[in-house]
Each structure stands twice: as structure tokens, then as C-alpha cells.
Amino acid sequence: MKKILVAFMTACVVFFTGCSKIEVKNEKGWWTDYDECLKAASESGKKIMMIISADEVEKSGETLKQELFYTEVFMQKYQDEYEFCEIDVSPSLIVNAFPKNNIPEAIRNDKAKTRKFLNEHKKGQRDAAKILEKRMKIMATFDVTHRPMMVFITKEGYPIADVQYFPSAQIETFDEIIEYYSPRITEYLTLVETAHNSTGLDRVKAIDDLYNRTSNSYRYHLTELMREIPKLDKENKSQLVGKYLLALATSDTIDATIARKPHKIAQIYEKVAKNKFLSKQEQQQAYFAELYIIGKNSPTDKELKQMKALLDKIILLDPSSPIGMQAASKLEQLNEFIKRREEYEKKIKEESEGSDN
């Protein structure tokens, strides 16, 4: 079962106030807004080279930028092929997004100046909060676990591969990295082209080939392509519709997490599990995902009953499958947990009644 919840990490950019515009490109020619970079790549037809770093706390990223990525030699060598994007995820942006409202002492007695200060303060805070939200989504959907990290991305926004180790900040070393990843990039671009040039069930097959070649961590970025599968194959002739309905549930789960609507997640899996195109094993996966969501915190008595019902459904679908056997084991553990919990609660109640007497 795919990982469905991704830890959010804080991000950083320069804090803009007053009438200043939010920066989308820095003075070195690198985009600092991924969405704007994606638009530029769509227009130029170039691939995207995005580096994610935390310059305030990890100096290796800043060193790479100053000694390699920002240099004229690097830019001239790769600018015809790539749009460049840098995402600095240092911890200061969260401070800028939620700054203290400290009115300078010099203007506290001047209502007009105080009002202007507060308006500019709120504007800057809103701008920083918007950037923070975007950066959090990037951190989540690109599953950043190591920094600095570079991702090669198609002009459509499909991540191809990532680089998480840079031996040095020398252009010759980076050329070797590009040479190493070049066959993978070429293969992936061919799969993308095939998918976009195909129709009907051929397109379903091409999207599936692209999906299978994409890392688990990056399949969220294929969501719009995945949504085409049920529409292209309404009778499930490819036998792939269930697979992609389940994959779309994972994408919807990530969206709900980012939108801070965790209460919707279990409903997503409950709904998809009932679709007629899911195989028994896929239904089991959906119910197991719902089970995990309900039980990941301290479950209430009502939630324990829901968990038992889900385990019963999983076992009934196919008791001999790996998930079915795992569910049977989980059900035994759950029943034992409920039994001990009830015994403990009964004991506490009896002790309480005894002390009252």
C-alpha cells in the first residue's frame, strides 16, 4: 500500500511587505515560484531543473548555488535545455508568515502611521503565508527527505528522477551527473510523448507504462493523467480501472491532507472500495487504508467497532490473500485489545463505586 500521508516541512523566502510584489524569479535567473516555473516550461518546451535546499541551516545548498548553479558557465551550458527553479526551505518563512505584531514605539501615538504599518504588516503576512502554503505542498508532493535535493521534471510537471548527493560543486562533476541520468530522462520523455500521442485503450496502456516507470514518491503528479483512465475505459477492458481508482484515492488523500481536512480521508477509501471495477484485492487495500486512517490515533469505542467491521469485510472478500490473512491476525489483536480495555474500565468502575460506599 502506497504511503498516503507525507510529513509537512516549513519553508523560507524573503519576506515582502507593503506594495512589493511576491518574488517569482531571483536576480540569478532562477524561478523561486514553482507554479510560475511550470508555466514557463510549458511555453518554452524546456524541462525543469529544481533544487530544494535549506540554506539557513544547511550550508551545502548555498555553496552549490554560489559555486555552481548561479555561475555563468553553468547557466550558459544548460539554459537552453532547462528552466531553473530553486526552493529554499529554511525555517524563517514560518516566522514571516506568522510574525509578531509589534508596532514600533516611534509611531504608536500616530494613528495614521500605525494604521499604515498594520495594513502593510497584514499584507506582508498574507504574502508570506501564501508562499509557505506553496512550499509546504512542494515538500509534501515531492517527498523531500534529504537536502539539498535536485529533481528533473518534464515540462508537464512529471518528476523524472532526483539527485540527493552532490560529490562537489564543480561543473565537471555535475556534467557527470547529467550524463548518468541522461538515458533515464530520454526514456521517460519517450513514455510521456507516447502517452500524449495515443488515444483510446492505447492511451490507457501508455499512461500505465508511464505510471509504472514513475517513482512511488512522484505518482501524485500524474493525477490528471490517471483521471483519464476511467473515462477512456468505461467498460474496464484493460482491467486497469480499479488500479487507477485506488491510485486516485491516494492522490485525493494527499489533497485532503494538504487542505487540512483529515476527516475526509476515511470517506475517500470507503467510497472507492465499493466501486465495481475494483478487484477483491484492491477492495481489501482500500478498506485496509481506511482502517489505518481510523486507527492511527487513539480510537474511540465507535471507531473500534468501525475497525472490526472493516477487518470483517477484508476477511470476507478473500481470507486466503496476504491482506486477508493479515486482517485475520489484526482482528485477533483488536479483539484482545477490546477485551482488556473493557476489563480495565470495569475494574476502574468497581473501584470507584467501592470508594463511594
Q: Which pLDDT score is estimated for 100?
A: 61
Find out whether the peptide bond into 148 is cis, omega within 30 degrees of 0.
yes
- Are the beta carbons of 243 and 279 closer than 8 angstroms? no
Q: Which pLDDT score is estimated for 96?
A: 67
Closest CA to 317 of 328, 330, 306: 328
Q: Which pLDDT score is estimated for 350?
A: 79
What is the rounded CA–CA span in Å between residue 350 and residue 356? Answer: 10
Residue 89 Cα distances to 9, 86, 118, angstroms: 8, 10, 27
Beta bridge partners of 162: 151
C-alpha cell at 115: 494604521
What is the rounded CA–CA span in Å between residue 141 and residue 3? Answer: 11
- Are the beta carbons of 46 and 82 closer than 8 angstroms? yes
Residue-wise pLDDT for 212-240, tens only, equals 999 999 999 999 999 999 999 999 999 99
Q: Which pLDDT score is estimated for 10?
A: 29
Q: Which pLDDT score is estimated for 277?
A: 96
CA dihedral 294, 300, 301, 302 (to 10 degrees): -50
Q: Which pLDDT score is estimated for 11?
A: 31
C-alpha cell at 309: 467491521
Q: Tens-digit pLDDT profile for the chain (357 aa)?
A: 334 333 333 233 333 333 345 789 999 999 999 999 999 999 999 999 999 998 888 889 999 999 999 999 999 999 999 999 999 988 777 666 666 666 666 677 767 766 776 666 677 677 778 888 888 899 989 988 889 999 999 999 999 999 999 989 999 999 999 999 999 999 999 999 999 999 999 999 999 999 999 999 999 999 999 999 999 999 999 999 999 999 999 999 999 988 888 888 999 999 999 999 999 999 999 999 999 999 888 888 899 999 999 999 999 999 999 999 999 999 999 999 999 988 888 888 877 777 665
pTM: predicted TM-score of the whole model, two decimal places: 0.81
E strands in 169-273: none
DSSP 60-92: HHHHHIIIIITSHHHHHHHTTTEEEEEEE--TH
The HSE-up count of residue 321 (CA atoms within 13 Å, CB side) is: 17
Other CB atoms within a 10 A radius of the CB of residue 108 amount to 11
Q: Which pLDDT score is estimated for 309?
A: 95
Q: Which pLDDT score is estimated for 351?
A: 78
- The amino acid that residue 20 corresponds to is S
Q: Which pLDDT score is estimated for 357?
A: 59
- The amino acid that residue 36 corresponds to is E
What is the rounded CA–CA span in Å between residue 325 and residue 278? Answer: 19
Q: Which pLDDT score is estimated for 41?
A: 98
Q: Which residues contact 135 (CB under 8 A, 6 or more apart)?
A: 10, 11, 12, 13, 87, 89, 93
